[in-house]
Amino acid sequence: MSKLSHYDHSGSPRMVDVSGKAETKRTARAHAFVRIAPAVLAKIPENPKGNPLEIARIAGIGAAKRTWELIPLCHPLMLSHADVEVTLEAEGVRIVSTAATTAQTGVEMEALTAASVAALTVYDMVKALDKSIEIQDVYLLEKTGGKSGDFRRGGTS
């Protein structure tokens, strides 16, 4: 089993030194689902705060760009792309985020942060209608590039 890279030889947390790694194109996609009761979903188009889906999309993109400020040991990355798709479904709102860069480290955390913040924004925008909304299934769908190679979660598109 390989060791965790965010710890030094004595077990103390550290920021990984990526200075010796080559810059390569790296991408990541992440997922989140916000379970919302059908009666509440029906009221989303008339939300007095605005369109929660579009606001969540913009919030997710902004969060991806600031991941390094939120997660203590993440490297600041210059993203070449960040996007969030927010789709209304019968059981709630599905969120799929993407992030890309050419850098010495990956963008998985940026994609995961985008999906998480978009989901939190949906909650914030509709919580006045129902406090029992659930944020579920936050996970990495896929990542490409880097020394560890590509990853694709089984059974997803």
* Residues belonging to the active site: 124
The helix (H) or strand (E) run that includes residue 19 is none
List the 134-144 sheet strands across, edge first. 81-89, 92-103, 24-35, 134-144, 151-152
Rounded to the nearest 10 degrees, what angle do helices 52-65 and 108-126 cross at? 150
- How many CB atoms are closer than 10 A to CB 67? 24
Whole-angstrom Cα distance, residue 74 to residue 64? 12
Q: Any bridge partners for residue 87, and if so which?
A: 94
